[in-house]
């Protein structure tokens, strides 16, 4: 078992090396619970609540592999009616290969709301980001280090020498810009966003500069409907069918399904199609009471990567707009029902 574990670790390190140095274009992490992390999907979502909304998110992808991918995110946003504007902050970390390759992103977001007609609104958002990628060179495994008997280490457990030379800079930082547009009413929403408009150069070693295109722009389109129901239960009761399409470089995915809430309990189910292949079935369950909301989802992989274990995702939301005092004060105001899934 120890030999197998070392082999898997070495293979993961080699994959990270390939991604970093052969200039393979990277992909952004996309949360299955994108509705609980709306700022990461579209900057126009900034300011969906008149009081602060704080979100904490964690995603563990392919737990069948040793520490393959983990993504963390913290966000906060609020709408200011006097300015007709929303403001948001977001920090995200993505860890690959047991920490060999790390990404940190810090974003400031602004959105402006325009009332097109009675009950129909448009929001335009812009996001500025500092994006940092770092590489732990000493944990990489290169081809000339692999021994057919002992693997990447000698019999004493020390790493075999390599002829590969590290690049001058193992931490790359870039400024990035994204934008988005959102159209919504009480019954529906539809939006589009463009991330990485600057296509920042994040490679560590360029074998051929003419082939490197930078971090590809990510295009996302989302839409959904809201059907509310009257009841005597504490909390909301509604169903929201929705869809998200994301494309970045040569990769794409389509999430289609529904989100529903009955009183304090909410749940949902989605099908995700990646490129030309079926990818996963996603299930969600959670509870919401007052300002607290927590959701857990699991990606049941149905593609060839099913042996890696799918993905676990947890979201914790603190929405101060859902306090009893705020709800009493908000009665009669223009507060779109179709956004309940995102709050």
Q: What is the model's pLDDT at position 7?
A: 42
Measured between alpha carbons, how far is 245 from 283 in angstroms, rounded to an integer? 18
For 207-244, write each residue's pLDDT tens digit.
555 555 578 999 999 999 999 887 766 778 899 999 99
Q: What is the model's pLDDT at position 37?
A: 96
Domain 32-136+172-342 has CATH 3.40.50.300: no
Q: What is the model's pLDDT at position 323?
A: 85
Residue 9 has pLDDT above 70, yes or no: no
Q: How far is CA 314 from CA 37, 284, 294, 307, 328, in A?
A: 11, 10, 7, 21, 30
Q: Between the CA atoms of 156, 161, 167 and 168, what dihedral angle is there, to the nearest 10 degrees?
A: 80
Domain ranges within the chain, ordered by starting residue: 32-136+172-342
**pTM value?**
0.84
- The residue with greater pLDDT, 27 or 131, is 131
Q: What is the model's pLDDT at position 135?
A: 86
Q: What is the model's pLDDT at position 22?
A: 44
- The residue with greater pLDDT, 79 or 335, is 79
Q: What is the model's pLDDT at position 141?
A: 82
Measured between alpha carbons, how far is 313 from 298 in angstroms, rounded to an integer? 6
Q: What band does 205 get if pLDDT is binned at 50, 70 and 90?
A: low
Q: What band does 41 get if pLDDT is binned at 50, 70 and 90?
A: very high
Q: What is the model's pLDDT at position 25?
A: 55
Q: What is the model's pLDDT at position 331?
A: 65
Q: What is the model's pLDDT at position 15?
A: 44
At 340, phi and psi to the nearest 5?
Answer: -60, -35
Matching residue, tokens 């369950």: 285
For 104-124, write each residue's pLDDT tens digit.
999 999 999 999 998 899 999
Measured between alpha carbons, how far is 299 from 265 in angstroms, rounded to an integer? 20
Residue 8 has pLDDT above 50, yes or no: no
Q: What is the model's pLDDT at position 247?
A: 96
* 17-21, 33-37, 49-53, 56-60: the lowest-pLDDT one: 17-21
Q: By percentage, how much of the chain surpasses pLDDT 70?
A: 86
- The residue with greater pLDDT, 292 or 14, is 292
For 69-109, write each residue's pLDDT tens digit.
899 999 999 999 999 999 999 999 998 877 888 999 999 99
Give the H/E segment covering residue 324. Answer: helix 324-330
For 127-164, write each residue's pLDDT tens digit.
999 999 888 888 888 888 888 888 888 888 888 888 88
Name the percent of the chain in helix, strand, coil, to the closest 5. Answer: 15, 50, 35
For 257-304, write each residue's pLDDT tens digit.
999 999 899 999 999 999 888 999 999 999 999 999 999 999 999 987
């Amino acid at each position: 078992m120890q030999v197998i574990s070392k082999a898997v670790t070495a293979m993961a390190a080699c994959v990270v090396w390939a991604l970093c140095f052969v200039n393979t274009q990277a992909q952004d992490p996309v949360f299955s619970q994108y509705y609980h992390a709306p700022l990461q999907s579209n900057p126009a979502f900034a300011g969906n609540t008149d009081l602060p909304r704080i979100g904490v998110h964690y995603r563990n992808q392919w737990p069948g592999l040793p520490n393959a991918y983990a993504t963390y995110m913290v966000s906060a946003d609020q709408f200011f009616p006097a300015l007709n504007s929303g403001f948001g902050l977001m920090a995200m970390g993505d860890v690959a290969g047991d920490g060999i390759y790390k990404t940190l992103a810090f974003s400031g977001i602004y959105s402006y709301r325009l009332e097109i007609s009675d009950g129909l609104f448009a929001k335009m958002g812009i996001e500025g980001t500092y994006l940092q990628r770092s590489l732990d060179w000493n944990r990489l495994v290169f081809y000339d280090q692999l021994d057919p008997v002992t693997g990447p280490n000698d019999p004493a457990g020390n790493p075999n020498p390599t002829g590969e030379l590290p690049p001058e800079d193992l931490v790359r930082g870039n400024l990035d810009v994204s934008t988005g547009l959102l159209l919504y009413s009480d019954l529906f929403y539809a939006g589009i966003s463009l991330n990485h408009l600057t296509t920042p150069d994040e490679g560590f070693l360029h074998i051929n500069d003419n082939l490197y295109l930078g971090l590809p722009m990510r295009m996302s389109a989302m839409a959904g409907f809201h059907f509310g129901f009257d009841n005597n239960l504490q909390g909301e009761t509604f169903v929201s069918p929705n869809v998200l399409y994301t494309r970045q470089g040569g990769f794409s995915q389509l999430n289609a399904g529904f989100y529903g809430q009955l009183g304090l309990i909410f749940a949902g189910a989605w099908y995700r199609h990646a490129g030309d292949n079926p990818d996963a079935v996603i299930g969600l369950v959670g509870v919401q009471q007052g300002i607290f909301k927590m959701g857990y989802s699991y990606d049941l992989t149905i593609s060839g990567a099913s042996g890696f274990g799918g993905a676990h995702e947890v979201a914790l939301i603190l929405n101060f707009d859902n306090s009893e005092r705020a709800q009493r004060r908000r009665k009669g105001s223009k507060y779109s029902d179709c956004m309940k899934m995102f709050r």
